[in-house]
A = this chain, B = another copy of it.
Amino acid sequence: MTQEISIQLTTEPRTRPDSEKLGFGKYFTDHMFMMDYTLEQGWHNPRIVPYAPLQMDPASMVFHYGQAVFEGLKAYQTSTGELLLFRPDKNMKRLNRSNERLGIPEVSGDFVIEAIRTLINIDRAWVPTAPGTSLYIRPFIIATEACLGVRESHTYQLIVILSPVGAYYSGGLAPVKINVESSYTRAVQGGIGHAKAAGNYAASIKAQSNAKKGGYSQVLWLDALEKKYIEEVGSMNIFFKIGGKVITPAINGSILEGVTRASVLELLGSWNIPVEERKISIEEIFEANAKGELEEVFGTGTAAVISPVGELYWNDRQVLINNGQIGPYSQKLYDTLTGIQTGRLPDPLKWTMPV
């Protein structure tokens, strides 16, 4: 796809937020990228325009039947002022896997990456520079046809918005308290859990909200069939260090294939640390803890990179992990990943791409 991206610059640039107050996904830059899909023209009319409300017919299918997928990735500023994307090709491949599952037409990943780079260069002044901050990139695709028949839409929009975001942990890497969810289900085999689809998040909100009310920061999801095997945590993948080995649930059709998850597996492999991708039950975690073998637990995701877990609650049982302190693997993975992402460390596997 070699379409030219038309560019219309804003005449009313907005005030950029204080970098102390960024938070996550609350502020958006001056421009956005858009591209349309019709059956006749395929993906067409790629354009960068001022960030502004979308004009959506109330019958647009996305509002009714949830045909919507998204991605999330970040651009980091290096100490020399260069901007780096982290493995955007993997996000694009996943976007097309999500598209395939939701019946949305495939996009050219290379073209969307090019669009993202062009957009970031236009809004470059919005990239925050304080330690731990970054520019969060949110490509998403929505069904726009105005029709109430239940079927795939015949028109779509792909949109990319940019949000300067703060350090995920304002006070450094802080281990979190997690509640193992025993009632609600996030996803099941044959469903859409492996796709980054809007509906998965809708299904997770109630349990997440209950967990927050109970003083937990996240939910640990178990499999839908037996409520026995671990799936993922909140919107992150999860890893356990048990007796020197690192274990993470295998990709099974209901777990999201995280880019950070894949990167952690590759890093651990390169460090010759034994890794297992397999089914792992919540019971096994509690048993490992009872034997004194549960050494570390951490989540992985684009937003937090590495999120150490300090406490796990499952009905009336609980475990304290590594005395509620961040473990050495979690710390090393965090330092290595953020080091590569921000250009502080060498990038032997060519994971970063200059904007």
Contacts and interface: CB of A to CB of B under 8 A. Distances in A.
Nearest to A148: B25
Interface string A140-177: 10100011111110000001010100000000000000
B206 A202 contact: no
A234 B149 CA distance: 12
A66 to B, nearest CB: 3
A200 B224 CA distance: 16
A53 B55 contact: yes
A140 B202 contact: no
Contacts of A54: 55-58
A65 B198 contact: yes
A201 B140 CA distance: 18
Contacts of A202: 65-68, 102, 192, 197-199
A103 interface: yes
B66 A199 contact: yes
A354 to B, nearest CB: 25
A209 interface: yes
Interface of A: 23-26, 28, 32, 51, 53-59, 62-68, 70, 101-103, 136, 138, 140, 142, 146-152, 159, 161, 163, 183-192, 197-206, 208-209, 212, 224-225, 227, 234-235
